[in-house]
Structure 1
């Protein structure tokens, strides 16, 4: 999932975890009044219909590895999603997924209006592909569990 406070891009993969595809973009019902939490049934229904076994939520990380307010929001969403769907949920570094999604869309012949509607789902697809590749490469589950606390960033000086 490419989490956003207004739109959430959702991608899905096959049971063998080989091919990822964009599924949809969910418009948050009440972005100004609690956001995604009123959409609890929507996410439960997707989990059921698509036979989801686990979730991967993009974690926005700065280029220097630090986290931001958006990271805190993504962590909160992932924890909530894990709780309401009772499915394992991982957070995975989403740096550059939107850039890669924009490149893919530019290469296709889609209208600007369709592009705006699909970019979050394509970003979720890129995220899921990166996650699956990292799992395969490392031979272990990539990312961090949604219920794992954020690491404290250290700003130690390089000089003594």
Structure 2
């Protein structure tokens, strides 16, 4: 949590997916994450335009991206895609980006078939960040 001399900062969390990207937000003052939006991954231009609109509205100081790994910590195809997404966020928006291990975040959610839970997964990822800092 921030020291008394540090102003609260808005933080976004992302659960990257090929079809959808979950977005959550929180701030360093209360250290609690909330689901914010689900961005449909129609194409790169549309995806980043929608993310830009959220960034322009909320002005986050930090972006957190969930990093999927195998249970043993080994990387896989989605790990590389998430790293690339994190690099793209930093390159496009100039906001610091940190990666958070998301291995067990999806186990916390039990959704009904077809229910979109990406924003809640992003909130769990962001909460993991807050809880570890």
TM-score (structure 1 length as normaliser): 0.69
Instruction: List aligned pairs for 1:105-116, cutoff 5 A.
Output: 112=112, 116=115
- Match of residue 63, structure 1, among 71, 75, 78: 71
Regions of 4+ moved over 6 Å:
none
- Structure 2 gaps, min length 5: 1-13
Following the alignment from structure 1 to structure 2, what is the Cα–Cα distance between the partners of residues 133 and 77?
23
**Alignment length (residue pairs):** 120
Following the alignment from structure 1 to structure 2, what is the Cα–Cα distance between the partners of residues 10 and 86?
18
Structure with the bigger percentage of strand: 2
Q: How far off its partner does 1:40 sit?
A: 2.3
- Residue-by-residue CA offset, 1:31-80 (whole Å, 9 max, x unaligned): xxxxx354322222211101211100000011111100100000001000
Q: Is the 8 A contact 2:15 2:121 kept in 1?
A: yes
Identify which of structures 1 and 2 has the higher relative contact order when contacts are C-alpha pairs closer than 8 Å and 6+ apart.
Answer: 2
Alpha carbons of 1:64 and 1:80: their partners in 2 closer, same or farther (altered >3 Å)?
Answer: same
- Structure 1 gaps, min length 5: 31-35, 106-111, 136-160
CA RMSD of aligned residues (A): 1.7
Q: Is the 8 A contact 2:39 2:47 kept in 1?
A: no
Aligned residue for 2:47? 39
TM-score (structure 2 length as normaliser): 0.82
Q: Is the 8 A contact 2:40 2:47 kept in 1?
A: no
Following the alignment from structure 1 to structure 2, what is the Cα–Cα distance between the partners of residues 133 and 92?
11
Structure with the bigger percentage of helix: 1
Aligned residue for 1:144? none
Following the alignment from structure 2 to structure 1, what is the Cα–Cα distance between the partners of residues 46 and 90?
15
Following the alignment from structure 1 to structure 2, what is the Cα–Cα distance between the partners of residues 93 and 14?
20
> SS at the partner of 1:45?
helix
Q: Is the 8 A contact 2:32 2:130 kept in 1?
A: no
> SS at the partner of 1:116?
coil
